Structure formats: structure tokens, C-alpha cells
Amino acid sequence: MATTIERSKLPLSMSYGKKALAEAIGTFILVFAGTGAVMVNNISQGAITHLGISFVFGAVVAALIYSLGHISGAHLNPAVTLALWQGGLFPKKQILPYILSQLLGASLASACLLFSLGKVANMGATLPLNNNWLQSLILEFILTFILMFVILGAAVDKQANSSFAGLAIGLTVALEAAFMGPITGASMNPARSFGPALIGGIWQHHWVYWVAPILGAQCAVWTYKILSYSDLQK
């Protein structure tokens, strides 16, 4: 999920552009499928179910890792991009293009869903249960810590068997969405929360879904470096 491959045959700027485009497309697909499932579940009066929505999120993440990992690293998440940079695994000059691409992709996905399905189910926006922002802040921190820890252990660590990285990361997303989705929305991803918030105009406690995932992912990098015998540096 986080193994970026440079293409020496392309000009460096073009290579960066293709990576950013891949991030935009990937995040579009993630938000379109995931929040689309939330909206269709509402329209169909629960035909997909909560567990079905969790499966959709996990499955699309796994599919995108296998299809885009060799192009951009398939971050699809500003918290992941920032954590990899903090860990010395991602160049600083690519941070802004990646994050802007992720936010653009998420916003376009939500705009397409609004046009095609209407403004239902809060556009799949992530909102704390009963407006309990502190509860969601703590839980989103822990959820993102777990997700980033799995990313490091399954895809980034040089000793990892990365062949199963997509499956491991996708299952982690599905699992966390299944058991914490009803409480926090199980975002773990500022871009996933930003798209529906922007297009739906739903900004209540939105900052939680930036602060908690970013801090959780950063903490996971620090912790993994303490535990791992291998060097995570490039």
C-alpha cells in the first residue's frame, strides 16, 4: 500500500503527475464505492446492511492496493501519506500533490453520488454518535493506529510478505468498520470524511476526522520503529 515505484524512463515531473492522478482515481473509487454503499443502504431500507457496508469498504481498499500499489503506493489517505513521510519513507515534495489529489478524488466521488442518488444518508458523512466528539476522537485515533500498524507490518517492512498486504489491509478496514462504524463512522481517513462533508455541507466535528487519524498514524510509525528489527528507511 505504501511502496512507491519510481519510473526512470519518465521525466520526474511526469512520474509525480501520474502518481498524483492515481491517488485521485483511487480515492474517487474508494469514496464512491464506500459511501455509495452507505447511501444505497439507506435508499433500499437496509438491503446492504452494516456488515455489507463494512465489506464494501474493505474489499475496495484491497482491490485498490493491488491495482494501484505499484503506481502510487495506493496511500488513498492523507494520514497515511503524512505518516510515511514522518517515518522517512516518502519524499516531502510529494506530500501536497498526494493530499490534494486524494481530497479532489473524494470530493468528485461525493459530487457524483449527490447527482445520481440525491442527498441521502448525510452523503455517507462520518459523524460522532450523539455528538460525542471526544469519544470519536479517541476511537478514531486507535482505529487509525491499528490500520497504520498493519500497513507497516504487511506492506512496508522489508521483512514482510507483501504479497498478502492488500488482503491484510482490506480485512483490517472491514473489521474496524464493522465493529466501530456505528459509533464514529470508522473513517481512519481524512479524505474519506472530507468528500461527503464538502459536498453535503456537513461539517459538525469534522476536525476530529483529521486530527485523530493523523495522530494515530504518526503514533503507529513511532511504535513500529521501536518494535521492528528491520530498518523502515528507504
Give strand ranges (E) for the chain: none
Residue 128 CB burial class (10 angstroms; 0-12, 13-18, ≥19): buried
Cell numbers given for 106: 473524494
Q: Which of 175, 120, 228, 171 is nearest to 1 (CA)?
A: 171
CB atoms within 10 A of CB 16: 18
118 dihedral zone (left: phi>0; alpha: psi -120 to 50; beta): left
Q: Do 141 and 215 contact (CB within 8 A), yes or no?
A: yes
Which portions of the chain are predicted below pLDDT 70?
1-14, 229-234
Write down the pLDDT at residue 16: 85
Beta-carbon-side half-sphere exposure of residue 56 (alpha carbons within 13 Å): 20
Q: How far is the C-alpha of 32 from the C-alpha of 27, rounded, in Å?
A: 8
Q: Rounded distance, CA 63 to CA 79, Å?
A: 20
